Chains A and B, each alone.
Chain A
């Protein structure tokens, strides 16, 4: 070899990586007890779990009362032991919690709407399921009309059920689904309007967004319910639930608009130029190139808004619409079920329902995000 020069004679073969020690013990050591800080955090977490989980299980399951006909069953004196959740209370009030005061003989209509929604929504959310376009058309166009006819009645010999009688989970879902389905397209339009080159469109969008974001939802609902009728001619009457629906949808749309705007700002100018140079019109560029990327960027924010909206629906209680939580509070007033654990049982049950819906949305969004990321 000459000085200052190196020439490799043979290339080294690629070797498999050295076998790392594995197994549960190693996992414990590296993940839970890697150092003093990690050890302290692990122990603190265990302490918190120990403080929360056993009492919860005791209340919900071990000490719970599972059958009975009235408050006596859920009293410690009659049971002769400490009493946890009073599940017979939920069983007795389940109809009220789901349907509100929807007439018992007509509740099959609500069931049918729930079942149809479920049957249409599941294949829509499962990516490999076929006929997505037909499915979407059915869910977003045909289903709302059918649901309206079924729930309100007045056609095909169905008795009219006024929205005043609606309540419980039915109202929660009607308000939430309408809000979710209406707020996304409305929010997209507002976000695009805010970035428009036309000053009038831009200013109107900004004013709309800032106004609805600036007032509390309770004010909106209050205004819509109690103040609006004072300004409208006497013969005009808009259904109370419909007013709340519009209020919630518009409110959520203003938030959604800002989320979408964030996504639009995340799409580089180069994407517009690439599409424009190919001859795509501005609206085609927006719909085919920019929006798909922008919405993908802000899936977490969109779902965040959906979840917030879902829980905000409880505020309709303030304008005498009895959603799930409203019906629960009405059920508390029943003296035949008054017991020390009734309140906790009721809130635990409705809490679990809200959690199931919100957690479901969150997990689904996570799944879609990962799916969109794969392959890129």
Chain B
């Protein structure tokens, strides 16, 4: 069986200090200070172009940054390839467009990294993959190709694929934005289950129902900055900043 999610190692999962990032001349992240405790579930929302995806993509170095520090599980994220490798092994990511490998079966998608990065024997990788495919409730699709599955099923495979690396932290970059409405729930249900199991999660999403249900904190970003962060009850009931209020008025009609 797959090992349980480890929750004891470092009390702070992610620490971000004074993070600045530019795309060319465009200041996309402006002085972000943010700490995520182990086991915390954070939902990040905000208008498009606010920098929320860029922020979580910095955490596993899909994007570089110009100024500031990110410390993941006590490991400083810098140009040291060893640190980057270690952090990527700790951090799983789920993308808006799933990013499954279309030339590999569902099972092969899930075992590729365990075999090549963790150097697990194929049989062990297979049994771990089947364990997580059962957890996202699609073990019967293991030998199909991603293109044969529905969007919701593909996204659940993507979640299982990330979990197969046994990460301590999961990043979700708008996981339900590319899905047909009737498939959103099956993906959110999987994420709720993951949250209940104690996974540290950073979720960029506009699913306010999900935020209310599982988030410990909701973060609102705009113009590359954190405008407001609060527990969901407070965030939705008494938003303080006018931009937050304007945004909520748009999404909670």
Contacts and interface: CB of A to CB of B under 8 A. Distances in A.
Interface in B98-124: 99-103, 112-113, 116-117
Interface residue tally of chain B, by bracket? 20 to 34
A289 B145 contact: no
Given A270-B95, A293-B102, A278 B113 contact: yes
A278 B95 contact: no
Interface in B67-121: 85, 88-89, 91-93, 95, 97, 99-103, 112-113, 116-117
B147 A277 contact: no
A273 B102 contact: no
Contacts of A278: 88, 92, 112-113, 117, 161-162, 165
A284 interface: yes
A281 B161 CA distance: 17
Contacts of A336: none
Contacts of A329: none
B148 interface: yes
A288 B62 CA distance: 19
A361 interface: no
Which of A274, A284, A375 has the most C-beta atoms of chain B within 10 angstroms of its own C-beta?
A274
B244 interface: no
B60 interface: yes
A273 B148 CA distance: 22
Given A270-B95, A273-B95, A278-B113, A292 B103 contact: yes
A292 B109 CA distance: 14
Contacts of A275: 101, 112-113
Contact of B99 (A271, A280, A296, A376): A271
Contacts of A289: 101, 112
Contact of B95 (A274, A280, A284): A274
Contacts of B99: 270-271, 273-274, 277
Interface in B151-167: 161-162, 165
A280 to B, nearest CB: 6
B25 to A, nearest CB: 22
Nearest to B143: A375
B117 A376 contact: no
Given A270-B95, A288-B112, A288-B116, A276 B62 contact: yes
A246 B91 CA distance: 48
B122 to A, nearest CB: 14
B54 to A, nearest CB: 13
Contacts of B161: 278
Interface string B24-43: 00000000000000000000
17 contacts: A270-B99, A271-B99, A273-B95, A273-B99, A274-B95, A275-B101, A275-B113, A276-B62, A277-B162, A278-B112, A278-B161, A279-B117, A288-B112, A288-B116, A289-B101, A293-B103, A376-B145
Interface of A: 270-271, 273-281, 284, 288-289, 292-293, 296, 375-376
Given A275-B112, A279-B117, A376-B145, 7 more contacts: A273-B99, A277-B91, A278-B162, A279-B85, A280-B113, A280-B116, A376-B147
